[in-house]
Structure 1
């Protein structure tokens, strides 16, 4: 018995020792005030060292008229420049001119230039390459290479394009002119001998307008318009130089539930001098009438697109101009939403078809619709997303598009480019290399430049042939030699399962460049959960505000949770009437998984920051998930979706405005605050009305809550600028590390106007 007890005691002793060792191995990162001030200085130095420290990251091609060659400029260390000419067919590269000789030629005509930093904005070359014309500092020059001489010239001659007569309301046959007078529609013959008044019930208040002719000049279409004047939102510019009073400003601003201008569609027959009201609903959403698409072989018919308010129904409607009767060609409905801004439609000239996108099968894909028969033909399919359509070649029956998620076992957000036939066959991958791609085609699409990278892999730019996607040459590979001297690294990619235990949630991690794996660092989440897109960068990020914050002693992360775009429809639908969700369940699981894998991640000390929708998300996290998020800095947040802009909020929160708007409002839930909060607002914000932040402040005060509030005079929609970013750093240092930040007022550190400046410019 005693032996058993001794063994048991020994086991507890061993376990206790192991726990003690583990506790010693990983301890909280907790610098002294002096050490923290030194970290601020170090972060500022790295900010400076990494600014514009990566070169040869992309190529902007300037093509010759015959498309046989192009030139581009590289900007290198210390502002040095080089100009490269490329033969498109062979891919051979050469320097366009000898910079020292050109600089000497310019000096002869009184223009001093640094040969290493010549700044040329345009170049033209003769076919024999003996004469080069170029633009510099707004002046054109002619440079004769053999003689090494320069002269100033006017603008070089270009091929003169014929003038195009623009007469919006003149009929295509040039016999009639339509016009609006005192709100009514008139048509007169061009020779002035005949005038027809089509309407008499129009007025200045409710006029007819938006007039368009049919291609055969037999019909006019137009609308009786019932205008709605948007209400104003106000703000005060408190500190305008030269004034002693605050200046009241206002601008029209449509909020959820506000009425729209409406349009009644009419047809006017010139032959019969008859007015027909089209047998269709009044168009009352969005705020402009739709484009009309006439059949190319029968001008009796045209179609238009109609989105219903609430974003749950999309139609393509055909109108018979003879009878004013309508027929629905496409009718798509959704139980959640149809994303208006991503609704792609293309009407190829000389055809009666439309190519459109839809998420009706759960993924965004392309379809071909016969507008005469209504027959639908699928073009793309699969568990991946069409991200955009570059162009459509109707003669070859081909579509050039970008997509993400087609490659398995890879980041599903990476963009690749493809070409496919209208029948969905002969799919050609134009960008085979792994990475996030950006493609720019030559004017006739014979060639294209493909620039690709990953968030932690620098960019490469290649020239490719469009016919078969064949690589012609590697143009540029990013130069990191100067950047690497700063001693920092790009973010790391991390993936964890979401709330369903199945779906991968992707994000990035920035950690201190001098991190100690035996220390636990508090976590900051850079959040933006707006449903209109995905936001974690996929292209190369050598340095950003995230890394600048990390250098103070934080693990800084960015995550795309459920409810954001560019994944499946189900993934996106989480946001429907549910903006407050913001993917927090996925984000919390992701951060916990990160901490489980890396002991230096302290999931007990988590804060977050964001601007605009990210500001709303930040405060929502503190209100609805206080057990996890301890501190937040919310800048210019749209804290109540009833106060923010109509087009954005009705897209995701739906119409009409219901109780769920109130239930998810940060204003309504302000009394739930338990963590530490800093609100930042620019007093001249014209994107999200400043009162959105003031209403939250009012609710917090009435609830007796302690919080910090920073209103910045003269600033618009922003994270607070340099001063706001300084206050953000200090706030997290104080509330997550428990250390007093630098004493700025006594000069413990000099104020830095570039502090934490965002650097997302490398694609």
Structure 2
């Protein structure tokens, strides 16, 4: 059936129901339209199922606690009755065994404390083995104990000092691009102290207290500042600053305990189009007391950048500059002797450069930069020569470098993760690799099919690889970094108890997007007691924020989508065009176009779903989302009412001019043009069709609450029916447990055409 004919058929079905008839039978199925009594019973069953799921000992990953030798570690694992068992692994020997008997250890600790310690409440936060592995030191609550593993005799011990190691952190710290100058007034040779007085730059000799005044045109309104030194202590770098005060946004706390009046609160908040403080860079010479302007540009975006001095020389440094509007990124070299600048990297685009994912790593000894960019249409790594500006492509192909773990300067290797490289897999699956600076010897550390997450031992001789799919249980294996061979399997989650609840594991579903070529990926959640002869409303969990992709890829059978499905819905989540982690062209759909939200792809995906599964009733489609997802869910009813019939929108950024500057200008661009207003939910409020519920926390400091209130005001002025839930004291939220309950009730009313339980009367299911 063509798209147009399918839409006409959908409208016919709706017309029949609206006229007072019943939903027509289609494809051998009839619509699931439960009675009130059935709905009450279903709510009771869902609550029982949610409770049962929470009690299941599911372990999706482990956190290794490496011993000081870097050869051994322990980890905790949840088991039956909410108890935790602990395992000790010797990576060098390839062995794993229980660290101790949990009940015996809990009883032993209880004997020392003189009070009961139930085994299912015994949690260890730190643990160290003696070299003979016959004694352990462990920390329970805030007390250390020393215990013999032969007879479980324990005694209190003194605090044990240890070096904390986070196995999940990158090997190399990433300095934030806009951390600014160090502002250390003392020169590296400790002979001069620089400071600001009266808005002007001075330097004082530590030896004789003599002063140099470098500037006279600074004042309190436009001071100099942000001082840093050259490595040889001969020059200062500082900025003439033209400050702009950040404007406040406001909210009222209506229900503060112990008060009888609302409390007005405010906080600083840049919005699109607001002015930025500007910084004009200057160089100051200690030798001749001179002042020299750097280049001919002010820094008018984000603030003062980090400076990178060339190794072995104090003549040149580089800094990074992103132009406002996110369409140009540069690495700029400065000659300290002349103040002249040269662009080492100068990237321009007609759409946007994703500033938060720009990666640069400076290699001063070889005068090179590792740079990650999307300039060839896919996110890849380049090796840039600082002296010549020459750029060499390191990784290449129709796949995406997602993150850099580390750069091995000695071996000239990059360790990174990427998606889309392994053929025949979900293109969002993460795999981990290493590759030479020359683009050769690419090695996949995680070749098994699935979505991977790895962590290394402190000496990086071993790594733990956890991988799964959304409906395939996770495996956790210990591997040797040098050989890539598996040493031992640590965990493989057993799903028997989960499947015994009747749960239907999610299904991965793929359909073509608006171009008829690109695969759009999503997941489907179904009710546990789904009747194949019935058709169920479809509810989409939407978040179309361009900063990432959002469909779960790792095993996650138990979540809100699965729980909502049990009420009698098919719940889906989709990554449409305009989201990240695919090609640049896929991502660029969002440019100046956030209202698009990938809807053309999402609708085609659900139409393909209904064509394959007649149980998916796309004449009854709901959608819900939070934050950008709140904007998207409300936008579904404004811009695509022929398809979406009910929406729950929580703390939505309903007008991109009201939301935070850094996020919205990244995708909608600068200056603020008419497209901002044209795509606003507030501007388009008169277009509302279908059933809408708005949720907002009155103390939201992420998206100003007024965004929702202005949308509500526009809906009222256009005589539109909608529900509004304001949660007193709540921040950026979907409404918490109460809001999530109201969301479910809303969809039951508007898509199942039934009344949820009357909770004020404590209406419950009949056992």
* Fold similarity call, TM over 0.5: yes
1:93 aligns to 2:96 (yes or no): yes
1:82 aligns to 2:88 (yes or no): no
Instruction: Kindly report structure 1 stretches of 4+ aligned residues shifted beyond 6 Å.
Output: none
Distance 1:634 1:104 in 2: 50
Alignment of 1:25-424 (within 5 A): 25-99=28-102, 101-103=104-106, 105-111=108-114, 112-115=116-119, 117-145=121-149, 148-157=152-161, 168-286=184-302, 288-348=303-363, 350-424=365-439
Contact 1:56 1:479 in 2 (8 A): no
Name the CA shift for 1:322/1:52 in 2 (closer, same or farther; >3 Å).
farther
The structural deviation recorded for 1:22 is: 7.0
The structural deviation recorded for 1:51 is: 1.4
Distance 2:624 2:149 in 1: 57
Q: Which residue number in structure 2 is paired with residue 444 of structure 1?
A: 459
Contact 1:53 1:480 in 2 (8 A): no
- Deviations 1:428-487, CA, capped at 9 Å, x for gaps: 000011111111111222211111111111111111111232211111112334323322
Query: Secondary structure in 2 aligned to 1:629?
Result: coil
Unpaired stretches in structure 2, ≥5 consecutive residues: 1-22, 165-181
Q: Which residue number in structure 1 is paired with residue 631 of structure 2?
A: 616
The structural deviation recorded for 1:310 is: 0.2
Contact 1:220 1:269 in 2 (8 A): yes
Name the CA shift for 1:54/1:565 in 2 (closer, same or farther; >3 Å).
farther
Corresponding pairs, count: 725
The structural deviation recorded for 1:349 is: 5.0
- Deviations 1:29-76, CA, capped at 9 Å, x for gaps: 111111111111111111111115243321211112221211111122
Q: Which residue number in structure 2 is paired with residue 671 of structure 1?
A: 686
Contact 2:57 2:78 in 1 (8 A): no
Name the CA shift for 1:294/1:707 in 2 (closer, same or farther; >3 Å).
same
TM-score, normalized by length of structure 2? Answer: 0.91
Unpaired stretches in structure 1, ≥5 consecutive residues: 1-19, 161-165, 751-763
Distance 1:117 1:683 in 2: 37
Distance 2:513 2:440 in 1: 35
* Bigger mean CA offset, 78-87 vs 368-377: 78-87
Query: Secondary structure in 2 aligned to 1:106?
Result: helix
Query: Secondary structure in 1 aligned to 2:700?
Result: coil
The structural deviation recorded for 1:138 is: 1.2
Name the CA shift for 1:21/1:110 in 2 (closer, same or farther; >3 Å).
closer
The structural deviation recorded for 1:218 is: 1.6
Contact 1:54 1:479 in 2 (8 A): no
Contact 2:504 2:527 in 1 (8 A): no
The structural deviation recorded for 1:159 is: 8.3
The structural deviation recorded for 1:126 is: 3.1
Q: Which residue number in structure 2 is paired with residue 733 of structure 1?
A: 748
Q: Which residue number in structure 2 is paired with residue 760 of structure 1?
A: none
Query: Secondary structure in 2 aligned to 1:697?
Result: helix
- Deviations 1:558-602, CA, capped at 9 Å, x for gaps: 100000000000100000000000010000000010000001111
Q: 2:544 aligns with which of 526, 529, 532?
A: 529
Distance 2:364 2:144 in 1: 40
Query: Secondary structure in 2 aligned to 1:581?
Result: coil
Q: Which residue number in structure 1 is paired with residue 20 of structure 2?
A: none
Distance 1:171 1:714 in 2: 49
Contact 2:624 2:633 in 1 (8 A): yes
Distance 1:21 1:675 in 2: 20
Query: Secondary structure in 2 aligned to 1:363?
Result: coil
Q: 1:705 aligns with which of 698, 708, 720?
A: 720
Contact 1:58 1:451 in 2 (8 A): yes
Q: 2:642 aligns with which of 623, 627, 631?
A: 627
The structural deviation recorded for 1:722 is: 1.4
The structural deviation recorded for 1:21 is: 12
TM-score, normalized by length of structure 1? Answer: 0.92
Query: Secondary structure in 2 aligned to 1:579?
Result: coil
Contact 1:57 1:476 in 2 (8 A): no
Distance 1:408 1:149 in 2: 55
Distance 2:738 2:106 in 1: 43
The structural deviation recorded for 1:282 is: 0.6
Name the CA shift for 1:181/1:412 in 2 (closer, same or farther; >3 Å).
same
Contact 2:310 2:364 in 1 (8 A): no
Contact 1:226 1:263 in 2 (8 A): yes
Query: Secondary structure in 1 aligned to 2:113?
Result: coil
The structural deviation recorded for 1:183 is: 2.4
